Every structure is written in C-alpha cells, then in structure tokens.
Amino acid sequence: MPLVRIDAHGTVAGRLDALGRAVHDALVETLGIPSDDRFQVLTGHDGVRGALRYDDYLGVHRDEGIVFVAITLRSGRATGQKQALYRRIAELAEAYAGTAPRNVFVTLTENTSADWSLGHGLAQYVGSGSC
C-alpha cells in the first residue's frame, strides 16, 4: 500500500495524471503492487502559490521539468527492486508525460505494517501479509 506524492512545475492539463499513471504502473510492474492499490496526492506548482527548488546536484542537470516523487511504503524490498522501480518510473514519466528522465527525482520512505490505517481507525495491516 504505497502512498505517492508527486510535485511538479506547472499545471498543464493531463501532465499530473500522466505522471501519476507512470508511477502507479511502475509500482505494479516492478514491486507487484495490486493494480487497484492507488493512493496519490498530485500537486502542480505555479511559482506563486507554490514553488519547487532544485540544483544540479551530483552532476544531474535539472530544469523546470523537475518532478519530485515521494513514495511511502512498507519495508521489505531488495535494493535491486528499488533500482528497477526508479528506472521504470523515469521511463514511463518520459513515455506518458514527456518528462526527461534526468528530471525525475524519487525518494522512498519505508515503514512497518503498524504505521498504516486505511480507514475506520483500524490498523488493517497488523497481522496481514498484504502489500
């Protein structure tokens, strides 16, 4: 049960939805997340009500096409799976939204089953083996 937050410059019609699809499809393909397990917060920043800051850290030149993808999910994925996820998100962000792979910045935050409540004030994953 990942929770995805995507922040991007601009609010061009369809771009945020395309980025959301790209991340979701990559999670399904690389980590085996169920296809109906989609929880996303998609935010466009126009420079007035919200802004994104970035530099060319580690020699990666970024520009106004920058996309920040923050994924919170339960721990347990191997490093290779995470690397495959990052690669696939970048590929699909380019294919679906025209976003250059160099502008796709992804972070993963892992936690445990007890850190989730999916409604009704319950910790549904406690004692469960779900994604």
b/e string for 92-103 if b means 16 or more Cβ within 10 A?
bbbebbebeeeb
The enclosing H or E element of 74 equals strand 67-74
Provide the strand spans (E) within 1-131.
3-9, 40-45, 67-74, 104-111
Catalytic residue list contains 101: no
Closest CA to 31 of 93, 95, 80: 80
> Within a 10 A sphere around the Cβ of 104, how many other Cβ atoms?
26
CA 1 to chain centre: 12
Catalytic residue among 2, 21, 26, 40: 2
Residues noted as catalytic? 2
